């Protein structure tokens, strides 16, 4: 203490604040000396991250959640208080001068309540406003310590807590989930070396190559500024005007018009980091990397007619599905896979790996699975967690670095910038959901809503008065890869792109050619639908003219659906004779390539019940589904008790409040004439059939189904239609298996017969 007093002659009493040990005291000494005294290595090591969190979260625990518990509020058994903690005796009546007299200004309880309410909205995200989040963890399954120093990948079995937010892009915060749109797939890793955000999408490419065009893209796709329509839709003039003038969008348009843009569940979509990043190992050696999330439940999507109807019946369809999966223990899981490649390999490719409108076919650089992510906890509070979470592409950790992708460069700027406004100032990193699980030490100070209470009088570096602390981590801190290989051409300032960026159609064709015929038909139908909503003929024509460079046959198909005869002349491509691509067809680009393990966990089946239902069979089916993690809901003409054959069943949904498109499959275990007069049930059968989902109908229900479907349909050949007079175990098994299988699109015709 005396020593410290000597060090701070101006205030000899000050050291008493810091205690005898002087552990937290601002001490004297040169930076180097301080460095030798403080255990930097252990502060940053894998084994011992920080006293605040310890290291690996033991199974069943989660570092983030532990620290968030500090701020969780549970009011069970508690009295109502003001924000100052003063108990409130009456929450019904304003303080007034007599029962019929004026309200009194002194009613601080009323005024606090109203004032807080008046301020409880914050701006929504400028894009990706509509989102749903969940907590979980990432577990390393293959250590990559030879390739990257990144903390989550150092040891097999190491768990890193995560928070994930899935989103649509175009619509506002309250818009529907099932819009045709890209889905955001943003993961915050709370590593023991700081936060790493992998802010990706469910598609591996993007609309534009350069962040300079991002505001234009967003202005074009958002509701049109004069009348603010359409909401959560890209099917309008300004979007198609812009993209038809930007041939670099063509590849992404193929993805956006595919069924990937209408996922069945967040749990059944892939995720992609999109850009090429760098991994950096302990020696400073860099390896190029692309990130992929592979859903264990397989890749499954909706069909368009279904998505449109769902948006009316349940605009929260994907949000509810995520919530219910986690709530019921059917935890969504993804493998994290990487494509690793060298600068030399990258140079040999026919495309540029810095161009975000291009992907690297898996045939060219195979995926390597290095870990698994499990989402196992719903947020406690949507606003505090899902709304206030702030992802930032610039949040990288030691072992991960950027490349010179010009789209990425702009992103490095934009996220922090937009969040400064959205979250009201420079301290939003202290909001619990955003705070790293390691402690933050720096000389940044003050600003609105500061939470931390930094001690001492030193807020600068270098310093001697605080013993040089906090000090630079040197080789143990974040290191940027020194070599910028791409810049070989020289350092002249220039607004231009490398040559390979000019080719825009080869990978659009690769994507199209890699789809199954049903998927191709869906893409063509989506172009037709979207362009049919465009009111300016020249815009439609320009788009079809561009599609002719992808595929003549495909463009003709789209053009025909728009009544274009003859087709407009093809747009002149910038690169008329592009180099031959390495891969002409990539099976992995089809949703059918990764159907998952057939698990039906998280799926929902409508078991229609009524007077003709075989109650025992209905219960048996419900049990069989539950045993495999799926939910079979009894759907009656009304909810509540339904008198069926052999017992009473309790319907918790009705054909009126829960239409067919909210379910993955339909079972009608028996029916009588009475059930045949519900028009809702007819629609149930028709929609389930049209959307190519499995139907089980037994007893009289077979007749009901056949009556609804048009005569002449070959129901016997239909693999997903189980029509049996007396349903045995085998029929139940077959049906339950079908619930987890990809849809069989053999039923589809264009236009639909049913």
Q: Give the residue ranges of the annotated binding site for heme.
A: 125, 165, 214, 411, 415, 422
Catalytic residue, candidates 62, 63, 195, 201: 201
- Taking CB under 6 A as the binding criterion, the range among 123-131, 155-163, 464-472, 641-649 that sits at the site for ligand HDD is 123-131
- Residue ranges for the binding site? 125, 165, 214, 411, 415, 422
CB of 627 vs ligand HDD, minimal distance in Å: 35
Residue 22 burial (CB count, 10 A): 14
Q: Does 418 bind ligand HDD (CB under 6 A)?
A: yes
Cis amide bond preceding 316, omega within 30: no
Is-contact 329 630, C-beta < 8 A?
no
- Indicate whether 251 belongs to the interface with ligand HDD (CB under 6 A): no
Q: Is 293 in the site for ligand HDD (CB under 6 A)?
A: no
Give the nearest distance from C-beta 49 to ligand HDD in angstroms: 25
d(CA 386, CA 135): 10
The torsion angles phi and psi of 564, rounded to 5 degrees, stand at -95, 115
594 binds ligand HDD (CB under 6 A): no
Of 267, 286, 396, 407, which lies in the binding site for ligand HDD, with binding defined by CB under 6 A? 407
Q: Establish if 353 lies at the interface with ligand HDD (CB under 6 A).
A: no
Residue carrying the six token digits 């069945």: 264
| 322 binds ligand HDD, rule: CB under 6 A | no
Residue 233 sits in the site that holds ligand HDD (CB under 6 A): no
User: Residues 189, 206, 351, 735: which binds ligand HDD (CB under 6 A)?
Assistant: 206
Is the Cα torsion angle 514, 519, 524, 529 positive or negative in sign? Answer: negative
Shortest Å, Cβ 385 to ligand HDD = 11
Q: Is 128 a catalytic residue?
A: yes
Q: Angle, to 10 degrees, between the axis of helix 214-221 and the axis of helix 406-422?
A: 60
Q: How far is the CB of 214 from ligand HDD (least distance, A)?
A: 4
Name which of 14 and 500 has its Cβ closer to ligand HDD.
Answer: 500
Residue 126 within binding range of ligand HDD, rule CB under 6 A: yes
In this structure, the number of other CB atoms found within 10 A of the CB of residue 168 comes to: 25
Asked whether position 279 contacts ligand HDD by CB under 6 A, the answer is no
3-class DSSP state of 667: strand
The yes or no reply on residue 50 touching ligand HDD (CB under 6 A) is no
Cα distance between residue 147 and residue 340, in whole Å? 9
145-184 residues in contact with ligand HDD (CB under 6 A) are 165, 167, 184
* Sign of the dihedral through C-alpha 717, 720, 726, 730: positive
Single out the residue of 290, 304, 382 nearest to residue 336, CA to CA. Answer: 290
Distance separating alpha carbons of residues 679 and 681, to the nearest angstrom: 5
* Minimal distance, residue 225 CB to ligand HDD, in Å: 17
Q: Mark residues 652-691: x for contact with ligand HDD by CB under 6 A, - for none.
A: ----------------------------------------
Among 154, 201, 287, 515, binds ligand HDD (CB under 6 A): 201
Query: Is 406 a residue that touches ligand HDD (CB under 6 A)?
Result: no
124 binds ligand HDD (CB under 6 A): no
Rounded to a whole number of angstroms, the minimum distance from the CB of residue 172 to ligand HDD is 13
Q: In what order do the strands lie in the sheet with 631-636?
A: 653-654, 631-636, 604-608, 665-669, 695-698, 721-724
The contacts of residue 91 (CB under 8 Å, 6+ apart) are 80
- Ordered alpha helix ranges (H), 691-754: 701-708, 729-740
Indicate whether 34 belongs to the interface with ligand HDD (CB under 6 A).
no
Whole-number CA gyration radius for the chain: 30
| Segment contacting ligand HDD by CB under 6 A, of 109-117, 249-257, 407-415, 561-569 | 407-415
Round to whole Å and give the CA distance between 169 and 184.
7
Residue 423 in contact with residue 122, Cβ under 8 Å? yes
Q: Is 201 a catalytic residue?
A: yes
Q: How many residues does the chain have?
A: 754
Angle between helices 304-313 and 679-690 (to 10 degrees): 140
Q: Is residue 243 within a helix (H) or strand (E), and if so which, with residue range?
A: helix 237-244
| Cα–Cα distance measured from residue 624 to residue 399, given in angstroms and rounded to the nearest whole number | 47
CB of 208 to ligand HDD, least distance (A): 7
Q: Which stretch binds ligand HDD (CB under 6 A): 4-12, 200-208, 426-434, 576-584?
A: 200-208
Report the residue from 179, 211, 466, 625 that binds ligand HDD according to the rule CB under 6 A: 211
Residue 274 binds to ligand HDD (criterion: CB under 6 A): yes
Q: 32: which residues sit within 8 A by CB, 6+ positions away?
A: 468
Cβ atoms within 10 Å of 734's Cβ, excluding its own: 17
Q: Any contact of residue 318 with ligand HDD (CB under 6 A)?
A: no
Residue nearest to ligand HDD (CB): 184
Interface stretch with ligand HDD, choices 411-419, 505-513, 533-541, 711-719 (CB under 6 A): 411-419
Q: How far is the CB of 130 from ligand HDD (least distance, A)?
A: 10
Give me the least distance between CB of 219 and ligand HDD, in Å please: 12
Choices 119-127, 221-229, 396-404, 717-725; region in contact with ligand HDD by CB under 6 A: 119-127
The residue (of 358 and 542) whose beta carbon lies closer to ligand HDD is: 358
CA-to-CA dists, residue 673 to 166, 457, 638, 679, 721, angstroms: 45, 85, 17, 13, 21
34 near 468, Cβ under 8 Å? yes
Catalytically annotated residue among 128, 236, 251, 522: 128
Return phi, psi of residue 229, to 5°. Answer: -135, 155
- Residues at the interface with ligand HDD (CB under 6 A): 125-128, 131, 165, 167, 184, 186, 199-201, 206, 211, 214, 274, 356, 390-391, 407, 410-411, 414-415, 418-419
Catalytic residues: 128, 201
């Amino acid at each position: 203490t005396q020593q410290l007093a000597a060090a701070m002659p101006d205030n000899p009493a000050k050291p008493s604040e810091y205690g005898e040990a002087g552990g937290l005291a601002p001490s004297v000494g040169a930076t180097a000396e301080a460095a030798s005294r403080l255990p930097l290595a252990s502060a940053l090591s894998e084994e011992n991250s920080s006293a605040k969190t310890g290291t690996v979260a033991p199974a069943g625990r989660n570092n983030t959640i532990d620290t968030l518990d500090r701020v969780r509020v549970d009011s069970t058994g508690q009295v109502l208080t003001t924000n100052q903690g003063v108990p409130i005796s009456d929450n019904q009546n304003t303080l007034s001068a007599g029962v019929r007299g004026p309200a009194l200004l002194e009613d601080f309880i009323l005024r606090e309540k109203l004032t807080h309410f008046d301020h409880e909205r914050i701006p929504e995200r400028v894009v990706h406003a509509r989102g749903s989040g969940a907590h979980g963890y990432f577990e390393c399954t293959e250590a990559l310590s030879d390739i990257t120093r990144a903390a989550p990948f150092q040891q097999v079995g190491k768990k890193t807590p995560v928070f994930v937010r899935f989103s649509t892009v175009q619509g506002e915060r309250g818009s529907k989930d099932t819009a045709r749109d890209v889905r955001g797939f943003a993961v915050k890793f709370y590593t023991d070396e700081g936060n790493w955000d992998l802010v990706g999408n469910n598609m591996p490419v993007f609309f534009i190559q350069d962040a300079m065009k991002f505001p234009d893209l967003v202005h074009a796709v958002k509701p049109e500024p004069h009348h603010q329509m359409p909401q959560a839709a890209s099917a309008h003039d300004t979007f198609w005007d812009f993209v038809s003038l930007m041939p670099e969008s063509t590849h992404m348009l193929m993805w956006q018009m595919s069924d990937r843009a209408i996922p069945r569940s967040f749990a059944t979509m892939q995720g992609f980091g999109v850009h090429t990043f760098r991994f950096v190992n302990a020696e400073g050696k860099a390896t190029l990397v692309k990130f992929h999330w592979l859903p264990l439940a397989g890749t499954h999507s909706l069909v368009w007619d279904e998505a449109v109807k769902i948006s009316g019946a349940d605009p929260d369809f994907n949000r509810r599905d995520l919530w219910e999966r986690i709530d019921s223990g059917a935890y969504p899981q993804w493998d994290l896979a990487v494509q690793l490649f060298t600068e030399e390999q990258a140079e040999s490719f026919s495309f540029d790996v810095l161009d975000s409108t291009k992907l690297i076919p898996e045939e060219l650089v195979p995926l390597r699975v290095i870990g698994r992510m499990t989402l196992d906890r719903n947020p406690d509070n949507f606003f505090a967690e899902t709304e206030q979470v702030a992802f930032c592409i610039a949040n990288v950790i030691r072992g991960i670095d950027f490349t010179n992708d010009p789209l990425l460069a702009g992103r490095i700027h934009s996220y922090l910038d937009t969040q400064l406004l959205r979250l009201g100032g420079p301290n939003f990193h202290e909001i619990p959901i955003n705070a790293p699980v390691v402690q933050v030490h720096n000389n940044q100070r003050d600003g609105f809503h500061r939470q931390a209470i930094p001690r001492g009088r030193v807020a600068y570096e270098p310093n001697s008065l605080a013993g040089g602390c906090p000090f630079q981590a040197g080789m143990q801190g974040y290191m940027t890869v020194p070599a910028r290989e791409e810049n070989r051409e020289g350092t002249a300032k220039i607004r231009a792109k490398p040559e390979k960026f000019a080719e825009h159609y080869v990978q659009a064709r690769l994507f199209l050619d890699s789809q199954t015929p049903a998927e191709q038909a869906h893409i063509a139908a989506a172009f037709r639908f979207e362009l049919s909503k465009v009111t300016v003929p020249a815009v439609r024509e320009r788009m079809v003219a561009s599609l002719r460079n992808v595929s003549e046959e495909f463009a003709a198909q789209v053009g025909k659906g728009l009544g274009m005869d003859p087709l407009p002349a093809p747009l002149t491509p910038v690169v008329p004779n592009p180099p031959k691509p390495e891969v002409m067809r990539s099976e992995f680009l089809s949703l059918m390539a990764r159907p998952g393990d057939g698990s039906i966990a998280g799926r929902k089946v409508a078991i229609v019940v009524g007077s003709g239902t075989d109650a025992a069979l209905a219960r048996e089916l419900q049990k069989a589904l539950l045993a495999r993690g799926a939910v079979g809901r009894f759907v009656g003409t009304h909810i509540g008790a339904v008198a069926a054959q052999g017992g009473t069943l309790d319907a918790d949904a009705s054909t009126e409040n829960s239409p067919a498109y909210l379910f993955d499959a339909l079972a009608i275990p028996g029916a009588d004439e009475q059930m045949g007069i519900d028009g809702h049930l007819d629609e149930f059968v028709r929609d389930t059939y049209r959307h190519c989902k499995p139907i089980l109908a037994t007893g009289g229900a077979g007749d009901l189904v056949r009556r609804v479907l048009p005569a002449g349909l070959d129901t016997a050949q239909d693999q997903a239609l189980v029509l049996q007079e007396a349903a045995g175990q085998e029929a139940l098994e077959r049906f339950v298996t079908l619930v987890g299988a990809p849809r069989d699109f053999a039923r589809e015709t264009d236009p639909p017969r049913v």
